[in-house]
Amino acid sequence: MAVEDCEKAEVGSCPMPKAKIEAPSWVLVLLRLLALFATVSATLVMALNKQTRTTVVALIGSTPITGSVTAKFQHTPAFVFFVIANAIASFHNSVFLLLGLFGKKFDFKRLDLLTTLTDMVMVALVSAGGAAAAAMAELGKNGNSHARWNNICDKFGSYCDHSAGALIASFIGVGFLMALSALSVTTLYKNQATHY
């Protein structure tokens, strides 16, 4: 039935065109920006985290021999994974933020599905990096008496404080990425339901 015929026919006799359901774009942009700021903050704070401490390592007579010990994120593989995971998420967020803002001009097909899938991957990646780093941070703060591992946070307080800040920022980023994924999945589901 042509559009002209539908206009002349009775109300309800013509099928209504099904509109594509989308989340408000400003909500997606805001969530993406907040996730980007959180993951970039976590990456930079942990990557620049370093503290040097000078300690007495020996005594020769009454003369102390001192040595410097430096704590860096590179000394712990879990912290290296944390920095890499958050850096990847930061890159992902910046690329998809640009695609979200300017992608409509180019009309990329299936961008919504790709965005949803990669957001889910980023949630898994950043939460895994955060969990690994949190386990090492807990060990650094409290040690492990059963394995006779001493804590280091009483000696490197600034290093541990910066690590804790990076962990908080990362888990906030995970929360925003989860919200983005949930919103994207809901939108995809509603759009799929309108086609049937």
94 located within any domain: yes
Q: Which domain holds residue 141?
A: 24-194
7 located within any domain: no
2 located within any domain: no
Question: Within a 10 A sphere around the Cβ of 164, how many other Cβ atoms?
Answer: 16
* pLDDT at residue 189 in the model: 74
178 located within any domain: yes
Q: What is the band of 11 on the pLDDT scale with cuts at 50, 70, 90?
A: low
Number of domains forming the structure of the chain: 1
179 located within any domain: yes
* pLDDT at residue 109 in the model: 59
Phi, psi of 52 (to 5 degrees): -110, 135
Residue at 67: amino acid letter: G
Task: Tell me the average pLDDT across 41-68.
Answer: 83
129 located within any domain: yes
**28: its two tokens:** 């997606």
pTM of structure: 0.78
DSSP 150: P
Q: CB-based burial of residue 140 (10 Å sphere; 0-12 exposed, 13-18 middle, 19+ buried)? A: buried
Average pLDDT, the chain: 81
Helix (H, G, I), strand (E, B) or coil at 54: strand
5 located within any domain: no
* pLDDT at residue 67 in the model: 79
DSSP 95: H
- 């620049």: which residue's tokens? 48
* pLDDT at residue 134 in the model: 93
11 located within any domain: no
